[in-house]
Structure 1
């Protein structure tokens, strides 16, 4: 998640201070990825160091206001125009867990899959319920539309994960069935080995 670019996007609407940026970021994304003020100010410091923002002024309450620079605006629009890179995907804890569980001798991997599937389906149902609530009234502003887009992405992601878990379980079932039907390695009976030994003598 690019907090850096998210803050630049909010600053493009005008100068803001740290906790205001946090509130607006969470409002735009429905608090799906909550931020703390420390993260916001750390990111603002880095953006300031890189020439993307400047401390513009203070508001009436003494909050330092940050403003986007021309360099920051150029960086933001480059981000909008470039596709999100999928060639180096972020580490996925579930994929790593299943990859490790396959080779673990004392782990029931089907139980791991079934437990995750229950959790994923429940999350999908929760997201779908939130979407239905959001659609009860026509979205009135851009923040509500943005939240709907995030919700729908979460629903599609959960659906894809549930299908992948079904696929994993089916593959494991097929592999287990294949292992049961493989012929045992051919070995000569002990009596035959003894007979051959006596004949050579």
Structure 2
């Protein structure tokens, strides 16, 4: 998530101070990605350092107002114009967890998958319920929040499908290992039979 560009986009609408920026961001995204006020002001300091915003001073109530510069306007336009790069995907804790689970002894991978699927299904139901309630209000100001909800619903649905795929893959691997084990058992004579055969050979040499 680009906090930097989100703050610039909100300042493009009008000058604001830090707490206003945080409130506007969370209100427009349904508080899905809460911002720490310290993070907001640290980002504003960097934007000012980079010449993208300017400090308009105190508004009389102890709030420092920030305004977008011409360079900041250009930065926002470029951000909206360019697609989001997927060359450096964010760390996916679930994918990392499963990747480690299948390589470590003693981990019940199918139990991990089933527990996550149950949690993901609950989240999907919650998102769908909130979306249905929000959409029923039919208010233009809810459009931004509905778009965020749609994104959460689609990504959670994809996660559930991926978990189904993972479970299917684990089942296939289990059957494959079981088949190899049976083949190995059938192809190797029992130790007693081997000993008896050797005894017979030795006896023939006497």
Scaled by the length of structure 2, the TM-score of the pair is 0.90
Offset, 1:151: 0.5
Gaps of 5+ in 1: none
Offset, 1:60: 3.3
Structure 2 match to 1:180: 178
Secondary structure in structure 2 of the residue aligned to 1:83: coil
Structure 2 match to 1:9: 9
Structure 2 match to 1:108: 108
Secondary structure in structure 2 of the residue aligned to 1:65: strand
Q: Which is greater in Rg? A: 2
Q: 1:27 to 1:193 in 2, by over 3 A?
A: farther
Determine the C-alpha separation between the residues in 1 that align with 2:10 and 2:201: 86
Secondary structure in structure 1 of the residue aligned to 2:184: coil
Determine which structure has the larger helix proportion and give its number.
2
Offset, 1:85: 1.1
- Aligned-CA RMSD value: 1.8
Secondary structure in structure 2 of the residue aligned to 1:66: strand
Offset, 1:57: 3.1
**Cα offsets for 1:58-98 (capped at 9, x unmatched):** 22312110011111111111111111111221110000000
Offset, 1:196: 8.8
Gaps of 5+ in 2: none
The more displaced of 40-49 and 70-79 is 70-79
Offset, 1:195: 4.9
**Residue 194 of structure 1 is aligned with which of 194, 198, 201?**
198
Determine the C-alpha separation between the residues in 2 that align with 1:147 and 1:41: 24
Secondary structure in structure 1 of the residue aligned to 2:133: helix
Matches within 5 A, 1:29-178: 29-141=29-141, 144-178=142-176
Offset, 1:194: 2.8
